[in-house]
Structure 1
Amino acid sequence: MGDDGRLKLVRRPATMPCLSHELILWKILVRLPTKSLLRLRCVCKAWRDIISGADPSFSQAHLHHLHQQDKKPYSLLIAPRMKCKSDVEEDPRNTTTRPCTEMMVTSPGLYLWEESRRDVATLLFDISSFPGEGAATRRHGLAHCDGLVLLPAEDAVRVLNPATRQIRVLPSSPNSAPPGRCPEGEGHQAFGFGRDHRSNAYKVARFFHRETRGMGGGLGMEVFTVGKDQRWRETAAQPPYPFVAGLMATFFKGSLIWTIDHCSPMYDYSHLDDVGHMPCFVRFNLEDESFSVMKGPPWYQGADYLDTNFAELNGELAMPHPGPNSELVEIWMCDDVEGNNPTRWNQRLVLDYPFSMRLIATFNDEIVYQDTLDYLWRRTRKGDKAMARMNVLRYYNPDMGTLVEYSWRTVKRFDVIFYVPNLVRI
């Protein structure tokens, strides 16, 4: 910029060396945020091909740098799950709330919440047009792994990358159809999603009931490897116990952790002398697709599985538990899931919090969790701090330029998952 305010073109001296394409790629571009890389695709064809996934090693190197960052930004995906018609309290005096109809979608989309914009969540991926989104009880929760999101329903399974706008609809399976006598509750299936650390392949696993009674051959597990398989394939071994239908498995260190359904008519623990020693969870290794049984914390007896959840906190598997006086929440953690020894759980933290919570993730050593009132909180060294209240957030649609709110009158619950935007190709 010259003294007169005009932009001047400065020529590079002939002796100044040029940065090679490889140096720019592997030393500079690989360290940039995903959003910046997506904008740089228009610079040249070479950059477009690399960033768009022509070389998978670049996206893996970029993912590695994201995980190695000392300070990670808060980034969450929020999916409002709408009430169906029977869930809405219709008030004729309220003219601002439109009651849900039977055709209203379960969730209008995936919204990105970032700490830099605390009171606004931005629509990242519109899922309102997906078939099957009209039945509020048929879609399962969300799962995230390395920037990819699993969005399963009873009759349709999708894997998508919200950052790159890629979507993969997995082929149908005869096991997605409910058996003649389907267990009551959330259907007959449970899903999981994660990465096989040996092959770096992403796998979707589906547990399903073949029958509702009888122990012989009534349980099944099938796997779909994204980018490789053309159809679902059943595992060589069947699950040792029935899992809770509709409850998403937790991905942890190369395995999926499933919760055993002790109330299932297909579960028989009459042979156990001590109910406290009953198996509680099953670990499904994504590398060799084998099963192993896990015990829960000493207080866990399988009766309150719907009120508990897993999360990975600083490399350990964590589970919350209400304290004895209902004014505290204990955090129990396990770090030896991969070992051959019996699983050991230890109480690590006690939070001064009087409500039940759902653990989400850790950000820079701060625990992020969701309460029953749709607040998002983070636990810092100085105590609990509210991040956002989801039913009063403004939800922005950049394509329409509109802001909406999803209040308690129209939303049954908010599904929230930890999210890291990435370039992984599906």
Structure 2
Amino acid sequence: MDLIAVRNNNNNLDSNNSEERTPLRTYKRRVRRVMPDELVWEILLRLPPKTLARFKSVCRAWLAIISSPSFICMHLRQSASRNECEPSFLIAAHTFCDMRSMPKTWNPEVPFYHWQEAGKGNASLVSTMDLPGDSGFAHCPLHCDGLVLLPTETKLYVFNPGTGDVLNLPDGQKNCGYAQAPGLGLDLGTNTYKVAQFFYRSVYYYKRTYNAGMEVFTIGGHGSCWRTVEDPPYPVIMPQEPAYFKGSLSWHIERELLQTPLQGFLRFDLEEEKFDFISHPVLPSDEQPLQFIELGGKLCLVQYLPEEIVFWMSPSGDNHQWHRVYVIDNLPER
């Protein structure tokens, strides 16, 4: 409580004259105790996504902090550093099926489970996503920084298991009569997430002719619609889930549609929205399937041979230099 002395306008009053003195009045002042922004920031960084989603409604200041790109990036980095010490898995439990033979009792719910190595126990249910009853998975779910892309027969969904939020992407400009290969990744220039979808307008394998396109959807972007970008310079293998690595998506090239086969893959930069060609290492057998993986922060190609599994690594992923780093001998069949 603050005490404030209020005098009258007569400046000639003698301070010793008690009869001329104005009585003291007291006022209550409300003191609003506010935590420093730095302390609020540090506290919020340590909270799980579901709690952060609720705390957005506390005040405008907290909403601005939690929604800021810099806070989101730092929260992701902290989560990644914790996962390095305590590896964990997000498991989407779902049965793949053909829509034409789908049973009437097919469950459209997709449960997500979290399993952590340090726990040494059973996986725990994180969240459940409801898919429309007439939709089955067309591709494997893809993930980037905790977001999950779920491609179905008719729709594309982006799901955040941490908050339970679901984004139902609108229909794009693709021709639904032909195959699509969608991917999810982070635009490192703007710190926004994008869904990029390769699709065929037409394809004739026996003639080795095709007409392909690419469309991009920016999550949280203005307009919330698909944008058609430049056509891909090469065809890609279908069906295929592209690999995300350091701001780019990569697809294996379909050599059967090229007059002069190329040994490499097609990369799409999410920031520049441009294509480039990355050559494969010289492989002893290019008929065996290849798979992209990230290992220790490096882009790797895994080649599955009849007698061994070979790992090829690129130091930066874009310099066309590959090194054979690991070989795993296949176990003999019993």
**TM-score, normalising length from structure 2?**
0.76
Match of 2:17 in 1: none
Please give the residue correspondences for 1:185-196 in structure 2 after superposition, counting only pairs within 5 Å. 188-196=179-187
Alignment deviations for residues 200-240 of structure 1 (CA, whole Å, 9 cap, x no partner): 111100111101236777101000011014211111x2111
Match of 2:79 in 1: 66
Alignment deviations for residues 330-351 of structure 1 (CA, whole Å, 9 cap, x no partner): 2111123234xxx111111233
In 1, distance between residues paired with 2:304 and 2:56? 54
In 2, distance between residues paired with 1:221 and 1:126? 31
Q: Superposition RMSD on alpha carbons, in Å?
A: 3.4
Contact 1:257 1:282 (8 Å CA) reproduced: yes
Q: Indicate which of 182, 193, 198 corresponds to 1:207.
A: 198
In 1, distance between residues paired with 2:191 and 2:55? 28
1:251 aligns with 2:241: no
1:350 aligns with 2:327: yes
Contact 1:311 1:318 (8 Å CA) reproduced: yes
- How far apart are residue 319 of structure 1 and its match? 2.0
Contact 1:203 1:226 (8 Å CA) reproduced: yes
Alignment deviations for residues 368-396 of structure 1 (CA, whole Å, 9 cap, x no partner): xxxxxxxxxxxxxxxxxxxxxxxxxxxxx
In 1, distance between residues paired with 2:109 and 2:287? 30
Match of 1:316 in 2: 298
Contact 2:203 2:210 (8 Å CA) reproduced: no
In 2, distance between residues paired with 1:158 and 1:152? 6
Please give the residue correspondences for 1:19-418 in structure 2 after superposition, counting only pairs within 5 Å. 20-30=35-45, 32=46, 34=48, 38=51, 41=54, 45-46=58-59, 49-50=62-63, 53-68=66-81, 71-82=84-95, 84=97, 101-105=103-107, 108-127=110-129, 129-131=130-132, 134-135=135-136, 138-178=137-177, 182=178, 188-213=179-204, 218-228=211-221, 229-235=223-229, 237-263=230-256, 267-269=257-259, 271=260, 278-299=262-283, 303-305=287-289, 308-322=290-304, 326=307, 328-339=308-319, 343-354=320-331
Contact 1:106 1:139 (8 Å CA) reproduced: no
Alignment deviations for residues 293-335 of structure 1 (CA, whole Å, 9 cap, x no partner): 1222222765333xx32111122111222467x2x43211112
In 1, distance between residues paired with 2:35 and 2:233? 55
Percent identity, please. Answer: 30
Match of 2:8 in 1: none
Match of 1:8 in 2: none
Deviates more, 1:103-112 or 1:243-252: 103-112
The 3 A distance-change label for structure 1 pair 338 and 332 is closer
Aligned length: 297
The 3 A distance-change label for structure 1 pair 173 and 296 is same
Unpaired segments of 5 or more residues in structure 1?
Answer: 1-17, 89-99, 183-187, 273-277, 356-426
In 2, distance between residues paired with 1:70 and 1:155? 34
The amino acid across from 2:258 in the alignment is: D
- How far apart are residue 44 of structure 1 and its match? 8.5
In 2, distance between residues paired with 1:116 and 1:170? 36
In 2, distance between residues paired with 1:173 and 1:85? 23
The 3 A distance-change label for structure 1 pair 44 and 169 is closer
The 3 A distance-change label for structure 1 pair 319 and 354 is farther
- How far apart are residue 148 of structure 1 and its match? 1.1
Q: Which secondary structure state, in structure 2, belongs to the residue aligned with residue 218 of structure 1?
A: strand
In 2, distance between residues paired with 1:199 and 1:159? 19
- How far apart are residue 67 of structure 1 and its match? 3.6
Unpaired segments of 5 or more residues in structure 2?
Answer: 1-32
